[in-house]
Structure 1
Amino acid sequence: MTAGQVLKGIEFSHPEGATPLLLDLYLPADSDTGADAGAAGFPAVIHFHGGGWRTGERSSLGPAVDGFGLSPIEQLVEAGFVVASADYRLTDVAMFPAQLLDAKAAVRWLRAHAADYGVDPHRIYAWGDSAGGHLACLLGLTAGPAEFAEPAGTPDGGGDHHVAAVAAWYPPTDLNRMGEQARPDAVARADDHGSREALLIGAQPASAPDKAKAASPLTYVHPDAPPFLLVHGTADRFVPVAQSASLAEALESAGAAVDLLLLEDADHMWQLPDGSQNAARQATAATIDFFRRQAQKH
């Protein structure tokens, strides 16, 4: 990685009754001088980790992807992006929509501190894998709904939480249909008792369809959605590939810009039958290319 600063453990929010939420900030070389950033600053990507909303940690893309040694976050930094990888409350602390509110707080913090770190506040994008991809999708689709906005008088309220584009790797997008879409060899199903999805919304999706719908990105698709990149493996045993396909179809039908990349035979975290890194490399390259194209538009 080209020399640049990595600032670890910056507090961006402190929800009531929870520990402070932290983010790691990765800055490109010469970010202090604004070199190669353009007049307005560097484009930035906020990353949200996976782990079924109940595990995981910031700056990780899961043990399998981390184990490949491809360092997708560092590759984004080398491509000229500031990257912020942020915490959010897990389901042992709070249920939905806490996780989305935390994601929005991270966006607001970065935008409020854009000048401090050489960030262009108009070129802030969201990226996540699995549960983090779910949050990235929701960020892109819920810049308006008041039910997901913190009151202006609260410490995290009153700021701009929109993102200009979204990339999501194997995201849950429709909690009501995840169970029926699961593969016969699924490792986990949304309708299993005590599933990750049930822990997220506080009930089995089948018994609380309204709660499942409220936590589903598919619910919030609209014509003015930002550009999306959805990347999914066709052999995913945790999040059915139909979850990305159905969101892509809905976005396209609404007139929004969306790219759908399906990686043949890839399981969750880009595991392939031959053990190779090919799917992870393709997903990483496509994600960097997508964000580069978005940054060049502005």
Structure 2
Amino acid sequence: MHPRLAPFLAPPDPTVLPLPPAAHPADGVRLLRAVPYAVHDGGRPLELDVWLPEETPGEPLPVVVFVHGGAWRTGLRDDPGPRFRTWRPGPFARLARAGFAVVCPDYRLSGEAVFPAPLHDLGAALEWLRTRAADLGIDPERVVAWGESAGGQLAALLALTTTPALRGCVVWYGATDLTAAPPHTPEAALLGGPAADAPERAREASPVARVRPGAPPFQILHGDRDTVIPVAQGEALAAALEAAGTAADFRTVAAADHLWIGATEADVERCFASLLDFVRSRTR
């Protein structure tokens, strides 16, 4: 290969690629869909969606980074769970109308790479946001992470390990302790094997073990009848945060299984309202 071809055959730099034209999925909302933010050699490009208010505000927008669930092995970046799929407008559009940018990134799944790959991907998404902040009209210093299920575990780790610190984190029915993950489970697939075979990796993947003084405030919501990730996981994270001197607003949702299955529609609405209140309080 001639040396002059090398620059043209290298993967594109996502920090300088042009942003796509905006779609308008709901009144008052712009959507930049499938924006590449990282390109891994030998792997698929990782993309994110950016939801924005239609009107450009006078100051940079605070940001909510949504991390999707799916047992670390599946899931869609624009899906906050089955209880929200019929909402019109949906949760992301509602947040954009309320004056936030909402960023929904892909991350590598357990069939592609083991932990800490997905956490590194989310960190790369934050770096991309900092680089493109002026282009997007966002404030990279006012970021709250929000994740559900597997995404809750990753959002919590992002909030506990990122420098500069995020403003806060919302965890919906997330796994918080993977140190006892048995074989042939989604947790073991994330770790590359049962926790007993990789104890240090299991500890690094457990938010309860990564809590530190100075961590940002958390809001933790968990169904009291969760049969997938027991409510004790949410309780354990809240207790660890409080022991470290960090504010942790822990709430249970009555009669709710995983994904808010079994919860009343009013309770699901309250979960979203609690999220919105928390994000507002943390990004003023």
Q: For the superposition of Structure 1 and Structure 2, which TM-score range results when normalised by the shorter chain?
A: 0.7 to 0.9
Alpha-carbon offset, residue 209 of structure 1: 2.8
**Alignment partner for residue 172 of structure 2, among 169, 174, 182?**
169
Matched, 1:261 2:251: yes
Task: Give distance in 2, aligned partners of 1:46 and 1:126.
Answer: 5
- Taking the TM superposition and a 5 Å limit, the aligned residue runs for 1:234-273 are 234-272=224-262
Comparing 66-75 with 121-130, which one deviates more in the overlay?
66-75
Q: Which of residues 50, 63, 78 in structure 1 aligns to 2:69?
A: 50
Q: Quick one: distance in 2 between partners of 1:276 and 1:234?
A: 13
Partner of 1:292: 280
How far off is 1:16 after superposition?
A: 2.6
Q: 1:124 Cα shift?
A: 1.4
Equivalent residue of 2:75, what SS? Answer: coil
- AA aligned to 2:157 is L
Shift of 1:70: 6.6
The alignment covers a number of residue pairs equal to: 259
1:68 CA drift (Å)? 5.4
* TM-score, structure 1 normalization: 0.82
1:232 equivalent in structure 2: 222
Instruction: Note the C-alpha offset of 1:84.
Output: 0.6
The 4+ residue runs of structure 1 with deviation greater than 3 A are 67-70
- After TM superposition, the structure 1 = structure 2 runs for residues 142-153 of structure 1, keeping only pairs within 5 Å, are 142-143=161-162
Deviates more, 1:67-76 or 1:47-56: 67-76
Q: Distance in 1 between the 2:87 and 2:195 partners?
A: 34
Q: Say if 2:43 is the partner of 1:18.
A: yes
Give unpaired runs (5+ residues) of structure 1: 145-159, 178-189
3-state DSSP class of the match of 2:251? strand
Q: Do the aligned partners of 1:270 and 1:277 also contact (CA within 8 Å) in 2?
A: no
1:4 Cα shift?
Answer: 2.2
Residues in 2 aligned to 1:252 and 1:260: alpha-carbon distance in whole angstroms: 10
AA partner of residue 170 (structure 2): A
Counterpart secondary structure, 1:10: strand
- The answer on 1:7 being equivalent to 2:32 is yes
* 8 Å contact from structure 1 (residues 164, 227) kept in 2: yes
Q: CA-to-partner distance for each residue in 1:76-101, whole Å, 9 max, x for gaps?
A: 11211000100000011000000000
Alignment match, 2:53: 28
In structure 2, the CA distance between the partners of 1:67 and 1:206, relative to structure 1 (3 Å rule), is: farther
Deviation at 1:72, TM superposition (A): 1.6
Answer whether contact 1:228 1:257 (CA < 8 A) is retained: yes
The one of 71, 93, 108 aligned to 1:74: 93
Q: How far apart, in 1, do the equivalents of 2:197 and 2:88 lie?
A: 41
Residue 5 of structure 1 and its aligned partner are, at CA, apart by: 1.1
**Structure 1 segment 95-110 matched on structure 2, within 5 A:** 95-110=114-129
SS in 2 for 1:27: strand
Q: Percent identity?
A: 42
Alignment of structure 1 residues 126-137 onto 2, 5 Å: 126-137=145-156
Give, in angstroms, the shift of residue 102 of structure 1: 0.3
Shift of 1:143: 2.1
The structure with more radius of gyration: 2
Match of 1:150 in 2: none
**Counterpart code for 2:211:** V
SS in 1 for 2:62: strand
Per the TM alignment, residue 58 of structure 1 is displaced from its structure 2 partner at its CA by: 0.7
CA distance, structure 1, for counterparts of residue 135 and residue 155 of structure 2: 24
Extract unaligned runs of 5+ from structure 2. 1-25
RMSD over aligned CA atoms reads: 1.7
Residue 67 of structure 1, CA deviation? 4.2
TM-score by length of 2: 0.86
